[in-house]
Structure 1
Amino acid sequence: MRILITGDLVVNQYYDATANINQEVIDLFAQSACNIINLEAPVTESTSKILKTGPHLKADKQSTLDVLKRLNIHIAALANNHIKDYDEQGVLDTIDFCVSNNIKPIGAGKNLEQAASTTVLDTPEGKIALINIAENEWASAEENTAGANGMNLIKDTRAIQQAKKENDFVFVIVHGGHEYYNLPSPRMQEQYRFYAEQGADLVVGHHTHCISGYETHEGTPIYYSLGNFLFTKSSPNEEWYTGLVLEVSIQKGKLETTLHPVSQAKESFELKLLEGSASSELLEKVAAFSKIVADENKLCKEWAELVATRYKNYSSYWSPKIFIRNRYVSALLNKLGLTFTTTRGLAYYLNLMRCEAHRDLSHAVLQERLKK
């Protein structure tokens, strides 16, 4: 039995699926018993944008449907940071869109209980449990509100353990990581390995818009990021246009994985399988990232370099000047190196974020303030 899992898919404009998806891609998906994509944008007519940081994404309904049908998609993973960009209605509309087109939605729901529910595939090779989670940004479901299945280590561990008792295989699909960074943070690696230790037979990640490495931990393959699959939005980042399709083969209780490199054209977003030297080069990059993933010292060194690279940006997020809306004034302050922060103030910020009790209250208070 073959299962395909892809990275991010967003079709936010008119897209001719017949002309722009190469036959080799069609054939690959046609030969698979189950195809799973990360549907990154809500399919909705809602115009009610939520308050958030970052862009609001919305899928083109007809073009998205054309792509999903052309690729024979069976399951749409909805646990991601954009599924609630157009509020609860956008989430519910997307779920309805999937169901009405015979596509199983996972990782989102009308409330947290539904969003966190485990989906089970009953196959000739056994029962496969699918658990889809996303890091918590603006899309997470709550007890009485629609959204994505937000990451919670205790909740997710219990789900994995229970699924392992009742099924033959457990796949954990995670939307998370650092955008445009090809490696997991040390925390990510520890957490994904922990999922494996708790019973996951496969851990797959996406969100970063670039490919990453992989490893096998206690017999469980962990793929940290598949990169983009099809994302019809231009980017200056070259890695935006390449990605990986993960093939999972199960036979007689044994699970094996294979990567298929793909690319999309910069203007037409023509989707094709990479072949020859182009395919080899991308897989060589994956192998290089995987060597770093396997070496704790190298991974920590790369992480330290990322922290240094993004130091100024993240420092500015904790500065009062973040509230200055005039970009010219903000740019001038950046140029002058003025942050309006003190050592004592930064110590307060760190402790509010680091201490579990303070973080609980800070999170609850800020949520309430944003509701007003």
Structure 2
Amino acid sequence: MRRLAAAWALALLCTGAGAQQAGTPVSMVFVGDVMLDDTPGRVVRSGRDPFAHVAHWLRDADVRVANLESVVATTGTPEPDKPYTFRAHPRVLGPLARHFDAVGLANNHAGDHGPEALMQTLGLLDRHGIRHFGAGSDLTHAHAPLIIERNGLRIALLGYNEFFPRSFEADVDRPGIAWSEDAQVRHDIALARSRHGADLVIPVMHWGWEYEPLADSRQRALARLMIEAGADAVVGGHPHVTQDIEIVAGKPVFYSLGNFVFDGFTETAHRTGWLLRLELDREGVRRWRTRVVRMDREGLPRPHAASPGDCWVRGDAQPRPCTAP
């Protein structure tokens, strides 16, 4: 009887600990375009860390996610009709793995050096322990959610591209990225919950027109479609500038986080990005804040203390300026 009582006590203790863990919020950080070719790639080759100036913001989160705006490979052939093609050396995966847990690949540069380079990228990311979503060895894998579990909370990340060339799209027998067909997006969000057991779903989008400071009508319509389908937040990028933030049915939509690591830009707006921190529980996003970064001459992010960003708490009708840095 004493052994049985002790077992019951231990079971109750474990159950209580599990319930406490499941109720603990999960913090996630998202950043925009990370391009590690060209000057940022040379920074890594010299032994420096391109994320050094923002490392304190990154390590403070349970999960860190970036949009990887290049393949990482030693193979493949540049797409002949593209004015800009990016291919980073595998050495960049060291600092990337140090600071990020997962990367989105559904963008207009994932196919810059063809399917062979994309497949090598997937293998190298796996080898370095960097999880990925939005691209895969075929259509099914490209559309599969990445499930991240922290503190008993299962979070599904889905990635989609809306910017041409569409030739990078995965097919039933071809590697590539996930393209955002409306019906497929609805289906993927539903499957993330019903088949994969996700508590929360966050689509990460590559969309909109470059250098436009406001989201267009297509972005806004698709954001509403995703929220209505069950998304808990939407995080976007691609325009190379930050865009507006909208609260849709009580859920936040970040239309573009802008650039994060990217050289070759001179305009201040193109060198400014957001580091987005979400705090999540089973009801969705409980609060968030943006932190402003400014890329230096090498395309590396540095905190921009003069712009503390915006904050929001669940229930607020609109975001508000943060009062503390």
Query: Scaled by the length of structure 2, what TM-score is found?
Result: 0.80
Residue in 2 aligned with 1:130? 157
Residue in 2 aligned with 1:61? 90
Residue in 1 aligned with 2:186? 157
State the secondary structure of the residue aligned to 1:15.
helix
1:148 corresponds, among 169, 177, 189, to 177
Aligned residues with identical type, % of pairs: 24
Matched, 1:10 2:35: yes
One-letter code of the match for 1:88? P
State the secondary structure of the residue aligned to 1:189.
helix
Give the gaps of 5 or more residues in structure 1.
285-289, 292-372
The alignment covers a number of residue pairs equal to: 278
More helix by share: 1
Residue in 2 aligned with 1:199? 230
Which deviates more from structure 2 when the two are superposed, residues 46-55 or residues 179-188?
A: 46-55
Residue in 1 aligned with 2:129? 102
Contact map agreement 1:125 1:253 (CA 8 A) in 2: no
- Report how far residue 22 of structure 1 moved: 3.9
Summarize deviations over 1:314-353 as a string: whole Å, max 9, x none.
Answer: xxxxxxxxxxxxxxxxxxxxxxxxxxxxxxxxxxxxxxxx
- Report how far residue 226 of structure 1 moved: 0.1
In structure 1, what is the Cα distance between the partners aligned to 2:289 and 2:128?
Answer: 29
Summarize deviations over 1:118-145 as a string: whole Å, max 9, x none.
Answer: 1111221421111111115232112211
Contact map agreement 1:261 1:283 (CA 8 A) in 2: no
Residue in 2 aligned with 1:90? 117
One-letter code of the match for 2:301? L
Change (3 A) 1:85 1:209: same
Residue in 1 aligned with 2:299? 269
One-letter code of the match for 2:149? D
2:265 corresponds, among 217, 235, 258, to 235
Change (3 A) 1:78 1:210: same
State the secondary structure of the residue aligned to 1:272.
strand
- Report how far residue 242 of structure 1 moved: 1.1
- Report how far residue 237 of structure 1 moved: 2.9
Change (3 A) 1:254 1:14: same
Change (3 A) 1:22 1:45: closer
In structure 2, what is the Cα distance between the partners aligned to 1:220 and 1:283?
Answer: 15
- Report how far residue 174 of structure 1 moved: 0.4
State the secondary structure of the residue aligned to 1:14.
helix
State the secondary structure of the residue aligned to 2:230.
coil
Contact map agreement 1:263 1:274 (CA 8 A) in 2: yes
Residue in 1 aligned with 2:146? 119
Matched, 1:211 2:242: yes
In structure 1, what is the Cα distance between the partners aligned to 2:208 and 2:152?
Answer: 32
Change (3 A) 1:20 1:175: closer
Residue in 1 aligned with 2:16? none
Contact map agreement 1:120 1:130 (CA 8 A) in 2: yes
One-letter code of the match for 2:173? N
Q: What root-mean-square deviation, in Å, do the aligned CA atoms of Structure 1 and Structure 2 show?
A: 2.1
State the secondary structure of the residue aligned to 2:191.
helix
Q: Which has the higher contact order (CA 8 A, sep 6+)?
A: 2
In structure 1, what is the Cα distance between the partners aligned to 2:86 and 2:212?
Answer: 21
- Report how far residue 236 of structure 1 moved: 3.4
Change (3 A) 1:213 1:14: same
One-letter code of the match for 2:155? I
- Report how far residue 253 of structure 1 moved: 3.6
Give the gaps of 5 or more residues in structure 2.
1-25, 312-316, 319-325
Contact map agreement 1:169 1:201 (CA 8 A) in 2: yes
Any residues of structure 2 matched to 1:307-318 within 5 Å, and which?
A: none
In structure 2, what is the Cα distance between the partners aligned to 1:253 and 1:18?
Answer: 40
- Report how far residue 47 of structure 1 moved: 4.1
Change (3 A) 1:47 1:163: closer
In structure 1, what is the Cα distance between the partners aligned to 2:114 and 2:50?
Answer: 31
State the secondary structure of the residue aligned to 1:225.
coil
In structure 1, what is the Cα distance between the partners aligned to 2:159 and 2:49?
Answer: 31
Residue in 2 aligned with 1:50? 79
- Report how far residue 19 of structure 1 moved: 5.6
